[in-house]
Structure 1
Amino acid sequence: MNIKKSIVIRVRIVFLILCLCACAIVYKVVRIQFIDGDRWKKISKERRIRYQPVFATRGNIYSDNGSILATSLPFYRVAFDPTVADAETFNAGIDSLSMLLSRFYRDKSEDYYRRKIKNARHDGRRYLRLNSRQINYQDKKMMAQWPIFRAGKNKGGVIFEKVEKRFKPFGLLAERTIGFINEDKNGAGLEFSFNNHLAGTDGEALFERIAGGNKPIYDGTEVKPQHGYDIKTTIDINLQDVAENALYKALERTDAEYGCVIMMEVKTGEIKAIANLGKTKGGYIEDYNYAVGNQGRTEPGSTFKLASMMALFEYAPDVKLSDSIDTGDGRYRIKNTIMTDAKNGGYGMLSVQEIFEKSSNIGVAKLMEQHFSSNPQAYVDYLNKFGLNSTLGFQMDGEARPFMKDPQDRTWYGTTLTSMAIGYEMKLSPLQTLAFYNAVANNGVKIQPIIVKEISKTNTVIQSFKTRVLNEKICSDETLKKLRSMLEGVVENGTAKNILSKDYKVAGKTGTARKVKNGRYVMEYSTSFAGYFPADKPKYSCIVIIDSPKGVNVYGGDVAAPVFKELADKAYARDLAMHKSLRARVVPNKDSMPGVEAGSLEDLTYICNKIGVSHHPNLTEEEWVKVEPRMRSLDFKPNPVVLNKVPDVKGMTLRDALFILGNQHLDVKVQGAGKRVKQQSLEPGTDIAKNAKITIVLS
């Protein structure tokens, strides 16, 4: 009886507790829903609505002539608030809109889009992303005219979410130089180095968190983003294209590991082309900035002999180019090592000029021993004076720091002086080597290379850059005279005779340095050529590096120098200011008419005046003309060159034809031999297709 009564009591207690809990839950629900409802709705709205960044449009990167190298193009994602449109507008347009969406995206049926939109409207969803695929601006304009959408954002509910993508109109041209920047703000090239200017300042606006995404709320409190500045580079897209193509062909031909080319103006320090290509499984791509960064910092080899000879002439100005040195049979013992020359059996007796022209290691080593063996610090001090132990302060991040030994170092051995003299036991980047050669071309003034010359916004220059003088006089005029003679001799008589040009003079030096692997020198080479042109009035300096080429001829003169020559030829052909004046070639002769058919109005006018031939220019504003003989006179007819149209070069000299066709971005192939163009494969006046090629026949 007691047990039964006890159970009943316990059941009643549990029942009462459950009733109390139920009453408490009902009370809480009523309180939340009715008494505190407004408060909780406010909190909910505050948590759904928050300020989010509105990203600024990134600035453009331009070439030296204003062509766009990188820009941000707008793309859009299409979203929809199906609750905005009134019933009449929605019902009248839903079928057509669903059909258009299905046909445009081609991923779902018309019925799928109709059900998706109607269900969202029925459920009161205020944000519906119709498709994750991004559309361009033209597609956006088209879709804005579709049923329901044409009513606009406020009455139709369409939402075009802007997404910007970086676009490079010239594709892979100068890809590594232009560079990139990722979401973590890491990157390379100009995009990374000038990110603070290009990125701009983000704004902010209110966004409401809704199922499926975030919907912007324009309540007047939004802060507009400040778009990024534009930067104008010194890059010449035509020379850049030539540099990359020439480098690519050389790398493929020799199966090399990587290569780089830098070309800059002597006086201004403006880099006109900078190409970097590394080997991958699929070919060669711009995978690293070898021209500037640590991976391209190597022992320069024989191109460094220019610095050694500069130090020698400064230290011992009485040394003459005609002085003789016995280089022997090509083998020379220095302490416990044997130094060799490239020629089997050696060069024997050589002058100082010939030592440099033939790149005799033994000759340079003996000269260094004669003058610096008792005072190696003096040699190193000269290198430091030349700035070879310092960075250039280049505008792009990642410039390698030179490595240069000092007699106080523990690693300075008895052979270090002679090793350094021929470009070993040190490391320089290609850009640092080029800056030194450029100083020789620039009358001894060493300047800082630049690649960006302006930062602007809406055509207003915010900041401009000019090259900075690093050393007003790197050496004496007498030393410069000797060095220039030796550099010209390398091309005329020495290791780079294969790039000798009849049209202009080249000065430069080849380099072939053995590479180190696992602490030992192996039979792999880094080949190079550094120099400038025209040698008598330098306009451009240039360096070419080809790393680890394979084959029989793997010297700098065989591998790197031809790339220099191809780039120099194209630069010369398109720059009339570098050409030899026609005035020096004209021989006065009043008894004969000049055999000309077309050319530059200025040149032809001078020829006629010089030899006393009457001429009648019918359109003096035109730079290029055709010539029509009239008894004892010549008529000049206009021969205009129109952008993106095939020019008429028939009758012109090869020089003029190459200049005009090169400026029209045509790939030119020359056939035949002669002084003037007889035929051309593309009809004058027709549109120029992308990557078009033209063949001209000489007669």
Structure 2
Amino acid sequence: MNIKKSIVLRVRVAFLAICLFACAIVYKIVQIQYRDGDKWRKISKERRIHYQPVRATRGNIFSDNESILATSLPFYRVAFDPTVASTELFNGGVDSLAYLLSRFYGDKSEDYYRRKLKNARHAGRRYVRLSSRQINYQDKKMMASWPIFRSGKNKGGVIFEKVEKRFKPFGILAERTIGFINEDKNGAGLEYSFNGDLAGTDGEALFERIAGGNKPIYDGTEVKPLDGYDIKTTIDINLQDVAENALYKALEKTNAEYGCVIMMEVKTGEIKAIANLGKTKGGYIEDYNYAVGNQGRTEPGSTFKLASMMALFEHAKVPLTDTVDTGNGSYRIKNTTMTDAHHGGFGKLTVQQVFEKSSNIGVAKLMEKYFSDNQTAYVNYLRSFGLDQTLGFQMDGEARPYMKSPSDRNWYGTTLTSMAIGYELKISPLQTLAFYNAVANNGVKIQPIIVKEIRKADNVVQSFKTRVLVDKVCSDETLKKLRAMLEGVVEHGTAKNLLNADYKVAGKTGTARKVKNGRYVREYSTSFAGYFPADNPKYSCIVIIDSPKGVNVYGGDVAAPVFKELADKAYARDLAMHKPLMARVVPNKNSLPHTGAGSLDDLTYICNKIGISTHAKTTEEDWVKVEPQSHSRSLNLTPSPVVQGQVPDVKGMTLRDALFILGNQNLRVKVEGAGKRVQKQSLDPGTIINKEKQIIIVLS
């Protein structure tokens, strides 16, 4: 009995507690809703309505001829406020609108969109995202004419939210140079380096947080964005295309790891083409700017010998005709052995030949002879050439050159000779090119540029011109020697495959062994740096092909052909570089043309054109013999009839005419000799032609 009363008491107490808790909840609801309602509604509104940035339109990137390399295209997300339209407007157009949405997006049925719109209106939702798919401007214009939507934002409730996308009309051309920038403001290339100019200034506007997203509120307080500036680059689209294609073919052919090409104008420093391709599982893509950045900063190898020879000539005035005994191709320096590429060695070479044949031993012996007692002087020369400094290039990420000094702890007994042939130092391809360009530019070292102007529409906000980095890298006497050696490399040395009759090329090949795990291995970085036309330089260019595979992996075999393809294209399209043709020889009007026989119509036509009189004894025959009449400066045309079944007389005719006539007579013709006209024929004219008869004609 006591247990029963105890249970009942506990139940009653629990019931009473629940009732009191329920009453407290009701009280709190009433308090929040009525007594403190205004306060919480105000806070809710403040949190629901907020300012949000409105992105500025990003500026365009142009090539040197105003072609667009990168631009921003407007796209739109379509949203809808179903509570804005009147009942009559909504009910009258919702079916047609649902049908059009279903047809346009193609992802949901007409019934789905009808229910979505009606349910949102019934629930009082003020923002409905119709699809995650973005539409272009033409689609926006079309959708703005649809039922309900045609009434606009304020009466129809349609919301077109602008979203800009970066578009590159030339696809992947110069992709890494154009670059990118992500939402975290990180990136590469021109997009990143000139982001401050391209990005513009964002505006701001009020947005309301509602179910489904943020709805803009245009109340007059919005701040309009300031669109970004455009930038005009120095890139030549045609040369850029040739550079990338030539580089791609060379990389594929040699299965190399990566490669880069830079071409610039000698006088202006304007970069006309810059290509970078790296190896991936899917082929080669522009994955890194090897031409400028740290990953492309490598030991340059033999292309650096130009700097060593410049230092030598400035220091000791060594004539090009001095000789160096390079021996059998093997030379012991301290505890290392230096070798030449030519098996068995070059023997005794002149200084010019040392450079042309790229003899490591020859350069090393010259350095030992003139700099072993003052190695600091050698390094000081390199520094005076500006080779230890960056160029201040307009794009971010330029690598800093690495160059040792005799005072460094890692300066060894072999460092002088190693540096002289391009080892134990690191430099980027762009920095190497700037040095070669200085030689082409009469010793003036200038800063390469890739952006010419920053513009707002047609107004130039800022223009860029190259600046002089070193007024004169060396004396004119040294320049003369260097140019002779660079031209000799192409005419007699390691780049003879660049020799051509149209224009002269000057340059230097390079083949540097790679370092892996602290040791030099038999993998190479190949290169060619030079300029053209050599007698009046217009362009300088460098090509790097890293780690090519195969038998011929030297700079002249791998990198030089890429240089040639690009140079040929540049020369072909730049008429100012072409040599003037020799004046045409004025014909001697007192002499008669050498003609033996031929077509009557052809000979008459030609003679009339050049002012020679003809006297034809007949106009019925197709073929004639020619008899010059010197006293009257005229030609007598005597008939040479062709009779079917008989051997014709073709002596004096051109090979083309003779073959035509003899072929029509079913004769098998054998041609001997070389010349323009038939001198002899094996069968006499008028001979009866038998079956399968052959005639031999001799040209002279």
* TM-score, scaled relative to structure 1: 0.82
Q: Which residue of 1 aligns with 2:584?
A: 586
Cα distance in 1, alignment partners of residues 13 and 273 from structure 2: 91
Cα distance in 2, alignment partners of residues 418 and 35 from structure 1: 91
Equivalent residue of 2:133, what SS?
strand
Equivalent pairs, count: 593
Residue 134 of structure 2 corresponds to residue 137 of structure 1: no
1:565-617: CA deviation from partner (whole Å, max 9, x where unpaired): 000000001011111123x4433447499xxxxxxxxxxxxxxxxxx99xxxx
Cα distance in 1, alignment partners of residues 575 and 166 from structure 2: 36
Letter in 2 for 1:146: W
Equivalent residue of 1:370, what SS?
helix
Equivalent residue of 2:319, what SS?
coil
**Counterpart mapping for 1:33-48 below 5 A:** 33-48=33-48
Cα distance in 2, alignment partners of residues 275 and 342 from structure 1: 29
Q: Which residue of 1 aligns with 2:255?
A: 255
Structure 1 residues 124, 552: closer, same or farther in 2, change over 3 A? Answer: same
Cα distance in 2, alignment partners of residues 8 and 352 from structure 1: 118
1:102-139: CA deviation from partner (whole Å, max 9, x where unpaired): 11111111101101111001111010001001111111
Equivalent residue of 2:122, what SS?
helix
Q: Which residue of 2 aligns with 1:152?
A: 152
1:352-396: CA deviation from partner (whole Å, max 9, x where unpaired): 111111111111111111100111110000001001111111111
Cα distance in 1, alignment partners of residues 134 and 5 from structure 2: 75
Moved over 6 A (4+): 1-16
Structure 1 residues 358, 156: closer, same or farther in 2, change over 3 A? Answer: same
Q: Which residue of 1 aligns with 2:352?
A: 353
Cα distance in 1, alignment partners of residues 563 and 18 from structure 2: 93
Equivalent residue of 1:483, what SS?
helix
Structure 1 residues 190, 591: closer, same or farther in 2, change over 3 A? Answer: farther
Structure 1 residues 26, 281: closer, same or farther in 2, change over 3 A? Answer: closer
Structure 1 residues 409, 38: closer, same or farther in 2, change over 3 A? Answer: same
Structure 1 residues 365, 22: closer, same or farther in 2, change over 3 A? Answer: closer
- Please state how far the C-alpha of 1:416 moved relative to its aligned partner: 0.9
- Please state how far the C-alpha of 1:60 moved relative to its aligned partner: 0.8
Q: Which residue of 2 aligns with 1:199?
A: 199
Q: Which residue of 1 aligns with 2:601?
A: none
Q: Where does structure 1 lack aligned partners over 5 or more consecutive residues?
A: 594-611, 614-699
- Please state how far the C-alpha of 1:523 moved relative to its aligned partner: 0.8
- Please state how far the C-alpha of 1:152 moved relative to its aligned partner: 0.6
Residue 568 of structure 2 corresponds to residue 569 of structure 1: yes
Equivalent residue of 1:171, what SS?
coil
Cα distance in 1, alignment partners of residues 348 and 15 from structure 2: 120
Letter in 2 for 1:586: R
Letter in 2 for 1:158: V
Letter in 1 for 2:496: K
1:144-166: CA deviation from partner (whole Å, max 9, x where unpaired): 11111111111111111111111
Cα distance in 1, alignment partners of residues 4 and 555 from structure 2: 110
Q: Which residue of 2 aligns with 1:425?
A: 424
Q: Which residue of 1 aligns with 2:294?
A: 294
Letter in 1 for 2:132: S
Cα distance in 1, alignment partners of residues 27 and 345 from structure 2: 107
Equivalent residue of 2:312, what SS?
helix
Q: Which residue of 1 aligns with 2:228?
A: 228
- Please state how far the C-alpha of 1:410 moved relative to its aligned partner: 1.3
Equivalent residue of 2:131, what SS?
strand
Cα distance in 2, alignment partners of residues 400 and 591 from structure 1: 68
Letter in 2 for 1:439: A
Residue 409 of structure 2 corresponds to residue 414 of structure 1: no
- Please state how far the C-alpha of 1:38 moved relative to its aligned partner: 2.7
Residue 248 of structure 2 corresponds to residue 209 of structure 1: no
Q: Which residue of 2 aligns with 1:190?
A: 190
Cα distance in 1, alignment partners of residues 158 and 569 from structure 2: 53
- Please state how far the C-alpha of 1:539 moved relative to its aligned partner: 0.5
Letter in 2 for 1:499: L
Residue 66 of structure 2 corresponds to residue 55 of structure 1: no
Cα distance in 1, alignment partners of residues 33 and 404 from structure 2: 81
Identity score, percent: 84
Q: Which residue of 1 aligns with 2:361?
A: 362
Letter in 1 for 2:367: M
Cα distance in 2, alignment partners of residues 591 and 263 from structure 1: 50
Letter in 2 for 1:315: H
Q: Which residue of 2 aligns with 1:128?
A: 128
Letter in 2 for 1:451: I
Cα distance in 2, alignment partners of residues 521 and 8 from structure 1: 94
Cα distance in 1, alignment partners of residues 499 and 438 from structure 2: 22
Cα distance in 2, alignment partners of residues 405 and 218 from structure 1: 64
Letter in 2 for 1:126: R
Q: Which residue of 1 aligns with 2:67?
A: 67
Equivalent residue of 1:307, what SS?
helix
Q: Which residue of 2 aligns with 1:448?
A: 447
Cα distance in 2, alignment partners of residues 443 and 189 from structure 1: 31
1:488-545: CA deviation from partner (whole Å, max 9, x where unpaired): 1111111111011211111000001111111111111100000000111111000000
1:394-437: CA deviation from partner (whole Å, max 9, x where unpaired): 11111111111111111111111111111111111000000000
Cα distance in 2, alignment partners of residues 346 and 476 from structure 1: 33
Cα distance in 2, alignment partners of residues 9 and 498 from structure 1: 110
Residue 174 of structure 2 corresponds to residue 174 of structure 1: yes
Equivalent residue of 1:308, what SS?
helix
Letter in 2 for 1:52: Q
Moved more, 244-253 or 28-37: 28-37
Equivalent residue of 1:277, what SS?
strand
Cα distance in 2, alignment partners of residues 590 and 154 from structure 1: 89
Letter in 1 for 2:129: R
**Counterpart mapping for 1:299-338 below 5 A:** 299-317=299-317, 319-338=318-337
1:288-332: CA deviation from partner (whole Å, max 9, x where unpaired): 100001111111010000000000000011x11111111111111
Cα distance in 1, alignment partners of residues 344 and 13 from structure 2: 116
Cα distance in 1, alignment partners of residues 182 and 486 from structure 2: 44
- Please state how far the C-alpha of 1:464 moved relative to its aligned partner: 1.0
- Please state how far the C-alpha of 1:206 moved relative to its aligned partner: 0.7
* TM-score, scaled relative to structure 2: 0.82
Letter in 2 for 1:325: V
Cα distance in 2, alignment partners of residues 514 and 8 from structure 1: 97
Letter in 2 for 1:419: S
Q: Which residue of 2 aligns with 1:504?
A: 503
- Please state how far the C-alpha of 1:25 moved relative to its aligned partner: 3.3
Equivalent residue of 1:177, what SS?
helix
Letter in 1 for 2:332: R
Moved more, 32-41 or 287-296: 32-41
- Please state how far the C-alpha of 1:35 moved relative to its aligned partner: 3.2
Structure 1 residues 418, 5: closer, same or farther in 2, change over 3 A? Answer: closer
Q: Which residue of 2 aligns with 1:628?
A: none
Q: Which residue of 1 aligns with 2:93?
A: 93
Q: Which residue of 2 aligns with 1:107?
A: 107
- Please state how far the C-alpha of 1:32 moved relative to its aligned partner: 2.5
Cα distance in 2, alignment partners of residues 592 and 528 from structure 1: 58
**Counterpart mapping for 1:537-552 below 5 A:** 537-552=536-551
Cα distance in 1, alignment partners of residues 10 and 332 from structure 2: 110
> If you compute each CA radius of gyration, which structure gives the higher value, 1 or 2?
2
Cα distance in 2, alignment partners of residues 204 and 590 from structure 1: 83
Cα distance in 2, alignment partners of residues 9 and 553 from structure 1: 103
Cα distance in 2, alignment partners of residues 457 and 187 from structure 1: 23
Q: Which residue of 2 aligns with 1:275?
A: 275
- Please state how far the C-alpha of 1:200 moved relative to its aligned partner: 1.2
- Please state how far the C-alpha of 1:34 moved relative to its aligned partner: 2.8
Cα distance in 1, alignment partners of residues 573 and 118 from structure 2: 64
- Please state how far the C-alpha of 1:351 moved relative to its aligned partner: 0.8
- Please state how far the C-alpha of 1:30 moved relative to its aligned partner: 2.6
Cα distance in 2, alignment partners of residues 488 and 424 from structure 1: 24
Q: Which residue of 2 aligns with 1:598?
A: none
- Please state how far the C-alpha of 1:10 moved relative to its aligned partner: 7.8
Q: Which residue of 1 aligns with 2:694?
A: none
CA RMSD of superposed structures (Å): 2.0
Cα distance in 2, alignment partners of residues 587 and 436 from structure 1: 44
**Counterpart mapping for 1:376-525 below 5 A:** 376-525=375-524
Structure 1 residues 334, 3: closer, same or farther in 2, change over 3 A? Answer: closer
Cα distance in 2, alignment partners of residues 226 and 429 from structure 1: 38
Letter in 2 for 1:465: F
